[in-house]
Amino acid sequence: MAEEFSTELKNGNILTPKGFKAGGIHSGVKRKRNDLGIIYCEKPAIAAAVYTLNKVVAAPITVTKATLKEAKKVQAVVVNSGNANACTGEQGILDAKAMQKLTAETFRIQEEHVAVASTGVIGELMPMDKIAAHIPQIDVGETEAHAKAFGEAILTTDTFAKSASFQTTIDGKTVTVAGAAKGSGMIEPNMGTMLAFITTDAVIDQAALDALLRSVVDRTFNNITVDGDTSTNDMVLVMASGFAGNETLTDEHPEWHKFADAFQQTCEVLAKQIARDGEGATKLIEVEVAGAKTDEEARKIAKAIVGSSLVKTAVYGADANWGRIIAAVGYSGADVNPDTIDLALGPIQLLKESKPLKFSEEEATEYLKNDTVHIYVHLHLGDGKAKAWGCDLTYDYVKINASYRT
C-alpha cells in the first residue's frame, strides 16, 4: 500500500476548507427533500473539471464546459436534482444559462464564474418557474447544517449523501481537501450518472490542478461501476480558494505529494461511497489486481470483474463461484497467462498459478455475507496494479429502475 501523507477528517465536509459556503432548498422539482443547491466561494476560485464521455451531453455540461474553458475560475456552482435538463434542445441551453445568470445576480458575481450542474430525469424541460423562484432563497452558510442541505440537494435515487475530507500540512500551513458527491444508478466508467464537487483551500496552479484532477479521476471515479450505463450529466468539479496561504503548488513543489495524496484519498472515499450506494445494493465489491504488464492492463481486468453481472449476482447470493471471476479476467481484453493466475476471495485463496485450491464452501459463504467483499487477482506478469469498485446486483435494482419516473 502506498504511503499516505494526509489525515481523514471524520467530521469534515465540503465546507471544511476555508473560503466556502453552501446551502440547499426544496424548490418543488422533486416531491420532497432538497433539490436545489449552491456552493459559493468568497472569491473566484481556481477551478478544473472533467465531464461525461457520453456523446449525448446535457445542457448544463455544455454551458459549464464553455464557461470554464474561458475563465478557468469558478465562484459559485448551482445544482439541481430531479431534472437532468438533457435532450431538451435549445431551450435546455437557455434554461442552463438562466440558472447561471440568476445565480450571478444573486451573489453579485460574474456570470462566467458560475458553473451549472443538473441530474435527474432525461428529456423533460426544466420547471424554470420553480428554479428561478428559489435560487435567491437559498440560505448559504458555513455550518454543518448548510453542508448537509447542499449534500441532500444533489441526490436522486441515492440512499445517503456522500462526503469526504482529508487534511495535510504544506509549507507549515494546514491544507484541506473535501468533497460532496451523488451517484447510485447509471454508474459506469468513464463516470456514470454522478456529480462530485471538490473544494480545497490550497494555493495551486490551475494547470497543475487540472492535470491532477484528470489523473485522480482516472484512478477513482472512472474505476467504479454499478450497472454499465454512462449518463449524460456527469461532472467532477474542483474549486481551490487559496485561503490556506501556502506557496503556490505545482508538481515541482517539494510537498506536492502531500496535496496529491489528500486529493486522491478524498476522491477514492467518495468513489467507494457511490459504489456502495448502487441502486438496490447490499454490498460493496472491491477488486484489486496486481502483477499485470501495466497499470492500464490491471485496470481493464479490475473493471471487467466488478462490472460482471454474473460476479455481482454471485456476490449477492453469497455463492463462491470463482469461475465467473476467472472468466471476466479472460475476456477483459488484457494480456494474461492462463497458467499463472492467483485468485483470492478476501482471506480465502481459491487459485494458485491457475490451479484450484481446496477451500471451505461454508467459510466462503460466510465471507460473502459481509457488507464489503474483496477480490484479489495476481497475474505474475509485471508491476501493473489497479483497483475498481462496484456493488452486488439485486432484485431491488430492477424494482427501482422499473419505476424511476413514477
Looking at residue 282, what is its pLDDT?
Answer: 86
296 and 269, same domain (yes or no): no
- For 130-168, b/e burial (b = at least 16 CB within 10 A) is bbbebbeebebeeeeebbbbbbbbbbbbbeebbbbbbbb
266 and 289, same domain (yes or no): no
Looking at residue 73, what is its pLDDT?
Answer: 97
317 and 181, same domain (yes or no): no
231 and 121, same domain (yes or no): yes
- List, for residues 167-219, the tens digit of each pLDDT value: 999 999 999 999 999 975 444 444 345 899 999 999 999 999 999 999 999 88
pLDDT over 70 (residue 161)? yes
193 is catalytic: yes
pTM for the full model? 0.84
Q: Which residue has the higher pLDDT, 188 or 224?
A: 224
**Tally of domains within the chain:** 2
356 and 227, same domain (yes or no): no
Last residue of a domain, one of 276, 308, 325: 276
Looking at residue 193, what is its pLDDT?
Answer: 58
- List, for residues 113-136, the tens digit of each pLDDT value: 999 999 988 899 999 999 999 999
Kindly state the DSSP code that residue 337 receives in the 8-state scheme: -
2 domain-assigned: no
Number of H helices, E strands in the chain: 11, 15
1 domain-assigned: no
65 domain-assigned: yes
Provide the mean pLDDT of the chain. 91
326 domain-assigned: yes
Q: Which of 193, 199, 225, 230 is catalytic?
A: 193
182 and 261, same domain (yes or no): yes
Residue showing cell 445565480: 103
H or E segment and range at residue 349: strand 348-352
88 and 162, same domain (yes or no): yes
Beta strand extents in 260-304 (DSSP E only): 284-292
156 and 79, same domain (yes or no): yes
**Structural domain for 364, as ranges:** 284-402
Q: CB of 87 within 8 A of CB of 122?
A: yes
pLDDT over 50 (residue 246)? yes
161 domain-assigned: yes
> Quick one: cell of 23?
446551502
Q: Verify cis geometry, omega within 30 degrees of 0, for the bond prior to 190.
A: yes
216 domain-assigned: yes
Give the strand pairing for 114-121 and 162-170: unpaired
Which strands, in side-by-side order, build the sheet including 384-391? Answer: 355-356, 348-352, 342-345, 372-378, 284-292, 384-391
Please report which confidence band the pLDDT of residue 108 belongs to, taking 50, 70 and 90 as the band edges. very high
Last residue of a domain, one of 222, 244, 276: 276
49 and 111, same domain (yes or no): yes
23 and 109, same domain (yes or no): yes
Q: How far is CA 342 from CA 298, 327, 373, 379, in A?
A: 14, 13, 17, 6
144 domain-assigned: yes
